[in-house]
């Protein structure tokens, strides 16, 4: 695996790779501290492309002033080893000055899609995500880019970016990878102490409870949310709920009555770890099914 650290180098490396025959290039953007969830993205990309580029960059513009940018876990050596084992062709891991030689003066206005869920709690976060993702798309010009379903709002907004700015890139959604007790894998899980870790699996049980109620015929979002919250209160007293919402998948707006494609989504703090998770459902009349990719 080749490692490059500047925009100029990545462009040159990809020009050479294309000249040498790479035809379908996949980008897997990451912030490092890789776990099995990231590796599943890398594996999914293998089926989609003949050349895989992983970017490893902790993007400062998507962190708020009180968030964990400096403390965000970083372990480049371990990440490199894991990616090498996966047979990744190129790792792009630039310093902040390469990506942002000056403070960005332009931004994105995201209408509607960032009004709820993480967008409402992390002002500016998705603008920062769009800045880095658009930069990576322009620098790397992949045919395919893979993003995880765990960051559902990010995925929906990036799909909108691709449509609105006419990027010729296929966005592939990768199903959330979970621990055996249901906790979604996240780089922030390493912040959890043993008791927080034990209780954190209630997040997924709350989602499952919501899913079961909807499958049994409940269509009032308010009732589903109330049941999910009471499960969390009973099983995860250490959780500080940030949000728990049910939104439609197209516009990410809260639903009163459940129908069509919708997402049960939540975020909660356990100590300093802010964990997010979601389940995407398709509700058609009486039929309810989970969508593991969108």
Cα(282)–Cα(168) distance, rounded to whole angstroms? 28
Of the pair 6, 220, the CB lying nearest ligand PAF is at 6
Binding segment toward ligand PAF, per CB under 6 A, in 67-75, 129-137, 232-240, 280-288: 129-137
Binding segment toward ligand PAF, per CB under 6 A, in 24-32, 99-107, 205-213, 252-260: 24-32
Does residue 129 belong to the site contacting ligand PAF (CB under 6 A)?
A: yes
Strand partners, 56: 30
Distance of closest approach, residue 74 Cβ to ligand PAF, in angstroms: 13
Contact with ligand PAF (CB under 6 A) among 13, 22, 26, 30: 30
Binding residues for ligand PAF, total number by CB under 6 A: 10
Cα(282)–Cα(264) distance, rounded to whole angstroms? 11
Binding segment toward ligand PAF, per CB under 6 A, in 25-33, 84-92, 216-224, 271-279: 25-33
Contact with ligand PAF (CB under 6 A) among 132, 144, 207, 283: 132
Token pair 């008791």: residue: 195
∠ CA 143-8-50, nearest 5°, is 30
Reading the block at residue 237, the tokens are: 């007293």
What are the strands of the beta sheet with 25-30, ordered from one edge?
2-4, 90-92, 51-56, 25-30, 144-148, 170-174
The answer to whether the CB of 54 falls within 8 A of the CB of 92 is yes
Contact with ligand PAF (CB under 6 A) among 27, 29, 51, 161: 29
Does residue 59 belong to the site contacting ligand PAF (CB under 6 A)?
A: yes
Contact with ligand PAF (CB under 6 A) among 151, 218, 235, 242: 151
Distance of closest approach, residue 181 Cβ to ligand PAF, in angstroms: 23
Binding segment toward ligand PAF, per CB under 6 A, in 23-31, 41-49, 178-186, 231-239: 23-31
The catalytic residue positions are 38
Of the pair 29, 142, the CB lying nearest ligand PAF is at 29
Instruction: Give helix 125-140 / helix 152-164 axis angle, nearest 10°.
Output: 50
Task: Measure CA 19 to chain center.
Answer: 32
The answer to whether the CB of 221 falls within 8 A of the CB of 214 is no
Does residue 31 belong to the site contacting ligand PAF (CB under 6 A)?
A: yes
Distance of closest approach, residue 182 Cβ to ligand PAF, in angstroms: 21
Cα(207)–Cα(223) distance, rounded to whole angstroms? 13
∠ CA 70-9-158, nearest 5°, is 60
Strand partners, 80: none
Which residues sit at the interface with ligand PAF, rule CB under 6 A? 29-31, 59, 62, 129, 132-133, 151, 154
């Amino acid at each position: 695996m080749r490692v490059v650290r500047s925009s100029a180098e990545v462009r040159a490396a990809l020009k050479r790779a294309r000249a040498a025959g790479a035809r379908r290039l996949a980008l897997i953007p990451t912030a490092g501290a890789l776990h099995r969830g990231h590796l599943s993205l890398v594996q999914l990309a293998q089926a989609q492309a003949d050349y895989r580029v992983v970017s490893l960059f902790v993007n400062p513009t998507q962190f708020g002033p009180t968030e964990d940018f400096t403390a965000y876990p970083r372990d480049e050596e371990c990440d490199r080893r894991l990616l090498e084992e996966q047979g990744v062709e190129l790792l792009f891991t630039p310093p902040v000055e390469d990506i942002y030689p000056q403070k960005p003066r332009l931004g994105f206005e995201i209408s509607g899609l960032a009004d709820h869920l993480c967008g409402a709690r992390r002002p500016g976060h998705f603008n920062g995500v769009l800045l880095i993702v658009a930069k990576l798309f322009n620098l790397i010009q992949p045919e395919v880019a893979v993003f995880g379903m765990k960051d559902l709002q990010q995925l929906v907004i990036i799909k909108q970016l691709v449509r609105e700015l006419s990027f010729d890139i296929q966005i592939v959604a990768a199903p959330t990878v979970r621990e055996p007790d249901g906790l979604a894998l996240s780089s922030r899980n390493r912040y959890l102490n043993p008791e927080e870790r034990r209780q954190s699996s209630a997040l997924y049980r709350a989602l499952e409870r919501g899913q079961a109620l909807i499958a049994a015929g409940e269509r009032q979002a308010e009732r589903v949310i109330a049941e999910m919250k009471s499960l969390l209160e009973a099983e995860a007293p250490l959780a500080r709920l940030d949000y728990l919402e049910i939104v439609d998948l197209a516009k990410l707006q809260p639903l009163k009555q459940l129908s069509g494609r919708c997402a049960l989504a939540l975020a909660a703090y356990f100590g300093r770890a802010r964990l997010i998770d979601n389940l995407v459902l398709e509700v058609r009349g009486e039929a309810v099914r989970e969508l593991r990719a969108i």
